[in-house]
A and B are shown apart, each in its own frame.
Chain A
C-alpha cells in the first residue's frame, strides 16, 4: 500500500443525518458548512446514513478524491460503529487510527431534542474538537506477538487431565505438572460418582492411560511449578528441581489444582470420638468395603453456611445423598438419616437422585442453624439429638456412625499460585476469575486460565466442562499462532521518568516493570500485555507516560478547541 503523506493534515468530515435521529434536531447542512471552514478541513459532506453502503462508499471516495489523510465521522456511537468506519478508511488506504469519531447523536441530538438551535451549536463544538484532535492523529500498528504452540497444565486431577488431553488432541505440546506421585487427584479417594454411581476408578484409569500414552503430553509427577515469567505467547516455566528438563516455554497456562476438603476438628466429636468421620473418609471405607453399622447419621453443612464460612460448597448435599443411597442399596436394612438445611439438589439429575434416595428409605430431617444437632455419647457417638424442624419437636436417633458433610476449601497451593502467576484470590481464598459471569474460566491476565474446584467447588461433569472451556480459551492463541496486542497503549518518555514506580503498583494487568536504564530505573511498559486503560498515564507524577491515540497534546487540543 502506498504510504500517505501525513505531514499536512487533510481532514474530511462526514456528518450523518441518521434519518431524523440527528437530522430533525441538528441543522446538518449548517453544521457541514461550518465544518468546511475549520482549519485543515478540505472536504465536508452530509449523508442520510453514513453507515449505509452509500455512506461508506462516500468516505472511500472522499479519501481518494480529496487525498484525505484524516477522516472524521460525526454520527452515533463508537461502540457499535467505529469498526465499520475504521474498516472503510483501511480499505481506502488510510491507517485506521487516522479516523476520529464524534458522537452527535447519543450525546447531542437525543439529549437536546427540545432545543434544536443549541443542539446544532453543540454539534459544531463537538466537531471542532474532533477536528482539533484529528489534526494530531498518528498512524498506529497493532503488534503481533508469536505464540509458542505449547501449554502448561498445573494439576493432574481429572480436570487437569481432560484439559491436557483436549489440547494435546489438537496437536499442541502439553506439560502436565502434578505435585503427587500419581495422577488422578481427589478422585483417587472417591468411591463412586453421582449421578450415575459409576466407580471413580473406572473414570480415572482410562484417562491416566490416555495421558501417559499421548505423545504430545509430558507429565511431571511429584513436581511443582516454581517460577513463571513472561506473558501470553511466551511464558518461561521453571519446575522444582534442577536441570534443563525442568525448564520450558509455553504459550498458555491452565490452572487446575483443585481444592481440599475441610477437616472439622472439634465439631460433633470429630477427632475425639471414634465413629465420627467425614464424607471423604467414608468414601475410603466404602471403597475398601468396610462395615458401616446399621444406623448411620449424616450432618450436612458442617463448617459451611456458617458465620465463619458463609459459602455453600455446592457438591456436598449430593455427596451425602449419594453415600446414603449407596449404603441403603448395599444394606437395605440399614437406617440412614441425613440432617440437612437447604438441600441443594438443583437441576434434573440431582433432584431425581434425591427422590430416588427417599424412595429407597433414606430419611431426611431438616434442622436449623439456630438449633444444630447434638451428639450424645462418650468415646463413641451413641445417639444424635436433633430438633426436627417440620415435626417441630426434638427427636433422638440411634447412631453407629456419624458422617460429617464438610465443604471444599481453597487448596493450600492457591496462595503460591496467586503470587507466582500474579492472579488474584477471591474473598474465600479461591482463585478469582476475570468476570464471574462472562469470563468464568479466564484470569484478568491474558494467557492464563482456570478450571475445576480451584475456582469454586465443582462436581465431575461440571469440572470436565470447565476443563474443555479452559482448553478452548487456551487453544485460541495456540491455534492462531499469534495474538494481537492493543495499538492504543501506553508509552514512557524515559528521560522524564523518575522511576518512582507508582505506575507499576497501579497497573491492573501487570504490564509495567521498572527496568535499569543508564544508571537509573525507569518504567517499562510491555506492549503485549498493556490494555491501554490509561491508569498509569493519569497517575504518573512526572507526566512521563502518555497513551497512544489519547496523547496529552491531542486531548489538550480538544480542550482548547472547545473554549476557543
Chain B
C-alpha cells in the first residue's frame, strides 16, 4: 500500500473522552485504522470522573468501562495514551503527524496494573482525577478502572542527591522515602516503609551506627541529616501497637530459628510474611539478643523492643525462651521436626584478658555484666570502677556502672582516641557523665587487699606499625607501670561465639569459632541449615545482623519452595556529589543546620536508667526531615520503593519521551472540557469557605470508587450534610467571566441533588438558578421527579455572596428571590457551585493543529448550518465539548457524526 493510500485509511483522534472513544469506535467499525491520542495515562475523560449520569442515573463508569475496553481491544484502534500531538503537516488525505509519547517510567509491556508499587510510594501529590479532594502517589494508576491499566511515575525533575544513604545501609532502608513521609506527618506510613526492610525501626532508630549519615550528601553542603534520630520519630509519634497484621496464606513448611536476636527476628519476620511456620528457640529468658541484654535501658528502653518483637509474634512467629539447643532439645530432633534451620545465636561469650589476677571476684566480663543488669540482677560495683576496652560495650559498661552508683569510673584503652572503635557520640556522652578515659594504657595484673579486689597495675603504651587489623600496634613502654585503686574491673574486650551445638549439626566452623557460610546466600555446608549475624561475622552491628537475617530468609524461602538459591546482588557503592552538583545545591537550597536532639541533663540522668535522648517533637522532626535533599523536589524522588515492590520488574527510571510519526487522512479533535477557574468569583468564597465545593468535587465525593468510597462528607467536619444548596451559573452567563451557557449544569445539579438524597435519604437540596435548561429527552420529567421524590426545591435567583456561620461552618447564602423581590439569607450545610466549563484546547494545540478557535476558545466552525462539524482546516473535524457546550448524549452523537463526516471526506468515491 502506498503512503498516501495508507493515509487515507487512517484517522487521528485527539482526546480519549467519551466523544473521542465513540468517534474512534465508529471509524474502526468502518474499517479505518484509528490512532487515539490522549494526554492523560488513561482514556475515559471527564465521564470517568462522574458518579452517575442524567437523566437515567446510570453509573457513569458502568456504561463507560465497556466502551473503554472495546476501544482498547479493537483491532483497528491503537491507543496512544500519555501522549500529545506535537506537529501536524500536510493536508486532508495525507496529514503527517508527530506525536510525543511521554515517558511513563514504567514498561507498559510488563506492568500488569496490580498497584503494589503505589502502596509503597512515599510521595504524596494532590490527585487531579479526584479534583484534588484526595491525594495520589508519585507512581499511580490514573483511576481504578484505567484503560490501559498501567502505572505511571510522575517524575518531574532529577533528584538533587545520590541517596548515598540507601547504598550505605546494609538493608537499603528507603531513607528518602520515610523522611519524606515524616516531613508530611505521615508517621504510620513512615513506620511501615522502614519496616519493609527492617522489622525493628524504633529500636534500630536508637542504636544504629548509622552508616547512612556518614555518607549523606547533605553533609557535603552543610551537615548530614540526622537520619537515625528521624528513624525513631514514627515510633515516638504513633503507637506502633496499632499496626495491623496482614493476612497471609500459610504454607505447610516449618522453620526453626536458633536465637532471638536481631538476625533471628528479622529472618522470622520475613519468613512469617511469606506464610511459613516459624519457631524461634532462645536460650535466654527474654527475646531480643544483644538488643535486650547488651544495650542498656537508657539507650534502648525495653518496652520499645518488646513492642516490636510483639508484632513479629503477632505475625505468627512462636518464640520459645529458655530453650538451649543441644540441651533442652537435641539437634537430631531439630533436624527431624523442621524443614529448615537458621542459626543466629550471636556472640554472647566474653573474652579473657590473659593477665594475672583475672579470676579474682570483682573482675568481670563486660557482656556478662550488661546481661546481668539487663535481666534485673543486682550487681554491686563499689565506688571505683575500671572498664577495659575501647568499644561501645566498654562505654555502655562505664555509663551503666555510673548509674549503679560508682563515683569514679575509668576506661582504660590501649590505643589513642583516634583508634577507639566506640562511636564518637557515645564517648562524648560518657565523658559528659564524668567517665574518665585513660588512653594508651593496658592492665598488667590485678591484686587484692583483704581478699578483695583492690588494685589494678597498668602500663602505658605507644603506637607502633599497623598490625593485622590495620590499626597501629600498641607497644608497652617499659618502666611506665602505675597502679589504679579499683573495687570492680569490667573487661569489655570482645565477644566470642558459643557454638558447641553447631558442631553436632555438622556445620563447619572457622578457626575463630564462627560459622562458615556462603556469603551470598547464608547457606552453611549442610543442606537446609543457614546461619547469619554475629555468629558468622563475629561481633558486628545490629543492622548488619538484620541484613543477614533477611538474606537468610530469602534463601530459606527459595529452598523451601524448591527454587535455586539466588543470593544477593552486589551492592552499589554510595556516591558523592560532584563539585558542580554541590555548587548547584548550594544555590538552590539555603544552608540549614541540623536539629539537635534534646537529652536529659547529666546530673539527673546518671541517677537512673531512663532514656537519655528525648526524641524529636513533631515540629523538630518536620524541620529536620525537610532538610533532606531528595525531598526538595516535586514528584518522584526515585527512592526505588516501587522498583523493589514491582514483581514483573517494570520500573524504568531512565525512560525517555518517544517520538512517533503517523500518516493519517483526517483528524478529529475531541479534547473535551476543562473547568473554568472560579477563584476570581470571590463572592462565593470558594477556596476560603471550607463547605463550598464545586460540582465536579461533589462528583468525586459521591463516586463509588472515589476517595471516600461514595460517602459525601462535608470538608469542615466530615459530617453528612442534610441540607445542601446548589448555585448555578457560577462563571457562566456572566459578562465578567463566560458569557455563554455551559449547557449541562442545570441537569448536573439536579442529578447531584438526587444523588445526595439517594446516598443519605431525607437530604434536602435547594437549587438557585436563572433558567432551568432541561431540553433533552426526559429532562423535564427528571426535574419533576427531583421535586417530587428527592426533596429538591428550585429557587430562582442568583446569589450575591456567601458568608460563613462561625459557629458551625455553615455557608450562608445571601440572595434576591426574583419572584418575590425579597432579599433573603439561606443557611446550608454544604454549597455546591456549578463551575463554568470551558473547551479544553490550548491555543498552542490549536496552532499545532492549524485550526482557529472562536473568542470563547471553542473550535471555530466556518458554517454551522452547512458543515456543523468542520473546522477551519479541511480534513480536521471536531466534536464534543471542545466544539460547543453539550452533554454526553449530544457529544456521543456528534462524535459519531464526526466519524461519518470523516468517512465521506477522505474515502469518498469508494
A residues apposed to B, CB below 8 Å: 18-21, 23-29, 48-49, 51-53, 79-80, 83-84, 113-117, 120, 165-166, 169-171, 193, 195-196, 198, 203, 305, 310-312, 314, 342-352, 355, 368, 389-390, 392, 426, 430, 435-438, 440-441, 455-456, 460-462, 464-473, 475-476, 479-480
Task: Identify 6 residue pairs between A and B in the complex whose beta-carbon atoms are under 8 Å apart, listed by A's number.
Answer: A52-B112, A166-B900, A310-B780, A348-B856, A467-B897, A476-B26
The 8 Å CB contact of B26, one of A165, A349, A355, A473, is A473
- Are B114 and A18 in contact, CB atoms less than 8 angstroms apart? yes
What residues on B are CB-neighbors of A464 within 8 Å?
A: 865, 867-868, 897
Question: Within 8 Å of chain A (Cβ to Cβ): is B733?
Answer: yes
Is the beta-carbon distance between B865 and A312 smaller than 8 angstroms? no
Top 8 A-B pairs, shortest CB-CB distance: A472-B900, A469-B896, A468-B900, A171-B910, A468-B897, A465-B897, A19-B114, A476-B29
Q: Is B858 an interface residue (CB 8 A)?
A: yes
Of B63, B149, B741, B784, which contacts A438 at CB under 8 A?
B63
Interface residues on B, range: 35 or more
Query: A49-B114, A349-B864 are known contacts; what are 19 more A-B pairs with Cβ within 8 Å?
Result: A19-B647, A48-B647, A49-B647, A80-B149, A169-B904, A310-B784, A311-B778, A312-B779, A346-B775, A456-B776, A461-B864, A465-B869, A465-B894, A466-B893, A468-B898, A469-B900, A472-B897, A472-B903, A475-B903
Binding site for A on B (CB under 8 A): 18, 22, 26-27, 29-31, 53, 55-56, 58, 63, 65-67, 69, 73, 109-110, 112, 114, 116, 149, 246-251, 275, 561, 647-648, 733, 739-741, 743, 771-781, 784, 818-821, 854, 856, 858, 863-869, 879, 884-886, 888-890, 892-901, 903-904, 907-910
Q: Would you give the shortest CB distance from A48 to chain B, in whole angstroms?
A: 6
Instruction: Answer whether A461 and B868 are a contact pair too, CB < 8 Å, given A346-B743, A392-B821.
Output: yes
- Partner pick for B893 among A26, A305, A368, A465, CB 8 A cutoff: A465
- Max count, chain A CB within 10 A of own CB: residue among B29, B65, B868, B893: B893
B32 smallest CB distance to A (angstroms): 9
The answer to whether B820 and A392 have CB atoms under 8 Å apart is: yes
CB distance from B869 to the nearest CB of A (A): 6
- The CA-CA distance from A467 to B819 in the complex, in Å, is 42
Q: Which residues of A sit under 8 angstroms from B820, Cβ to Cβ?
A: 392
Residue of A whose beta carbon sits closest to that of B896: A469
Q: Contacts A51-B112, A169-B908, A480-B31 given; indicate if A466 touches B780 (C-beta within 8 A).
A: no
Least CB separation from A198: chain B residue: B865
A470 to B772, CA, bound (A): 30
Contact B892 A471 (CB under 8 A): no
Q: Check if B773 sits within 8 Å of A116, measured CB to CB.
A: no
Q: How far is the CA of A40 from the CA of B799 in the complex (A)?
A: 73
Most buried by A among B114, B250, B868, B908: B868
Known: A19-B112, A203-B866, A460-B865. A346 touches B904 (CB 8 A): no
Residue of A nearest to B60 (CB): A437
A158 nearest CB across to chain B (Å): 9
Q: Of all chain A residues, which has the CB nearest B149? A: A80
Cβ-defined contact, A462 with B648, below 8 A? no
Q: How far is the CB of A513 from the nearest CB of chain B, in Å? A: 28
Q: B903 contacts which chain A residues (CB < 8 A)? A: 166, 170, 471-472, 475, 479
Contact check, B896 vs A80: say whether CB atoms are below 8 A apart: no
Please give the distance in Å from A165's CB to the nearest CB on chain B: 8
Query: B56, B867, B890: which has the most chain A beta carbons within 10 Å?
Result: B890
A461-B865 contact in complex given A120-B249, A169-B904, A170-B903, C-beta closer than 8 Å: yes
Residues of A within 8 A of B56 (CB): 436-437
Contact of A437 among B73, B888, B894 (CB under 8 A): B888
- A503 CA to B246 CA in the complex, in Å? 52
**What is the minimal beta-carbon distance from A192 to any residue of chain B, in angstroms?**
10
Partner of A348, one of B30, B65, B784, B885: B885
Which chain A residue lies CB-closest to B561? A29
Residue of B nearest to A22 (CB): B249
Cβ of B249 and Cβ of A26 under 8 Å apart? Answer: yes
- Bound CA span A195–B909, Å: 32
Question: Across the interface, do B777 and A83 meet the contact criterion of CB distance under 8 Å?
Answer: no
Given A80-B69, A195-B864, A344-B771, A466 and B112 contact (CB-CB distance below 8 Å): no
Q: How far is the CB of A162 from chain B (nearest CB, A)?
A: 9
* A166 proximity list for chain B (CB < 8 A): 900-901, 903-904
The reply to whether B251 and A27 form a contact with Cβ atoms under 8 Å apart is yes
Instruction: For the complex formed, measure the closest distance between the CB of A485 and the CB atoms of chain B, giving whole angstroms.
Output: 15
Instruction: For the complex, give the distance between the alpha carbons of A441 and B894 in Å.
Output: 10
Q: B777: which of A116, A456, A465, A468 is its contact (CB, 8 Å)?
A: A456
A350 touches B775 (CB 8 A): no
Beta-carbon nearest neighbor of B902 in chain A: A472
Measured CA separation A20–B120 after assembly (Å): 14
Give, as a whole number of angstroms, the nearest-CB distance from A518 to chain B: 41
Min CB distance, B885 to chain A, in Å?
Answer: 5
**Contact present for A113 and B897 (CB under 8 Å):** no
- Given known A-B contacts A196-B864, A355-B739, A440-B893, A389 and B779 have beta carbons under 8 A apart: no
Contacts of B248 in A (CB 8 A): 24, 116
CA distance A562 to B771 in the complex (A): 59
Determine the chain A residues whose CB is within 8 A of the CB of B31 once the complex forms: 479-480
Shortest Cβ distance from B147 into A: residue: A80
On whether the beta carbons of B67 and A438 are closer than 8 Å, the reply is yes
CA distance A464 to B867 in the complex (A): 8
Which residues on B sit within 8 Å (CB–CB) of A196?
Answer: 863-865
Instruction: Report yes or no: B899 in contact with A472, Cβ–Cβ below 8 A.
Output: yes
Contacts A49-B114, A310-B780, A479-B31: A116 and B247 contacting too (C-beta < 8 A)?
yes
B777 with A389: CB separation less than 8 A: no
Given contacts A49-B648, A169-B904, contact A351 B733 (CB under 8 A): yes
Chain B hits for A20, CB < 8 A: 114, 116
Max count, chain A CB within 10 A of own CB: residue among B775, B778, B886:
B775
| Contact for B778 among A344, A436, A461, A479, CB less than 8 A | A436
Residue of A at shortest CB range from B779?
A312
Contact B900 A347 (CB under 8 A): no
In the bound assembly, the distance between CA atoms of A473 and B30 in angstroms comes to: 8
Indicate if the CB atoms of A312 and B774 lie closer than 8 Å: yes
For B901, list chain A residues within 8 Å (CB).
166, 468
Complexed CA–CA distance, A23 and B885 (Å): 47
Residues of B within 8 A of A473 (CB): 26, 896
A198 and B561 CA atoms in complex are apart in Å by 80
Which residues of A are found within 8 Å of B774, using beta-carbon distances?
312, 342
Q: Could you tell me if B889 and A440 are in contact, using CB atoms closer than 8 angstroms?
A: yes
Bound complex: CA A460 to CA B867 (Å): 10
User: How far does the Cβ of B61 sit from chain A's closest Cβ, in whole Å?
Assistant: 12
Contacts of B26 in A (CB 8 A): 469, 472-473, 476
CA separation between A468 and B894, bound complex, in Å? 8
Q: Which residues of B contact A461 (CB under 8 A)?
A: 864-865, 868
B110/A52 in contact, CB under 8 A:
yes
Do residues B909 and A169 form an inter-chain contact, with CB atoms below 8 A?
Answer: yes
Q: Is the CB of B900 within 8 A of A471?
A: yes
A469 touches B740 (CB 8 A): no
Closest B residue to A119 by CB, please name it: B249
Instruction: Tell me if A52 and B910 are in contact (CB < 8 A).
Output: no
A312 touching B733 in the complex, CB below 8 Å, given contacts A25-B247, A198-B865: no
Contact B740 A351 (CB under 8 A): yes
Does the CB pair B648–A48 fall under 8 Å? yes
On whether the beta carbons of B897 and A466 are closer than 8 Å, the reply is yes
Whether the pair B865, A203 counts as a contact (CB closer than 8 A) is: yes
Enumerate chain B residues within 8 angstroms of A475, measured Cβ to Cβ. Answer: 30, 900, 903
Whether the pair B894, A24 counts as a contact (CB closer than 8 A) is no
Contacting residues, chain B, for A21 (C-beta < 8 A): 114
Q: Which of A114, A349, A480 has the most CB of B within 10 A?
A: A349
Assess the A310–B781 pair: CB atoms within 8 A. Answer: yes
Most B C-beta atoms less than 10 A away, residue of A23, A114, A438: A438
Contact of A312 among B110, B114, B775 (CB under 8 A): B775
Verify B897–A114 contact, CB threshold 8 A. Answer: no
Check if B771 sits within 8 Å of A437, measured CB to CB: no
Say yes or no: B247 contacts A24, CB within 8 Å.
Answer: yes
Q: Which of A23, A83, A479 contacts B30 (CB 8 A)?
A: A479
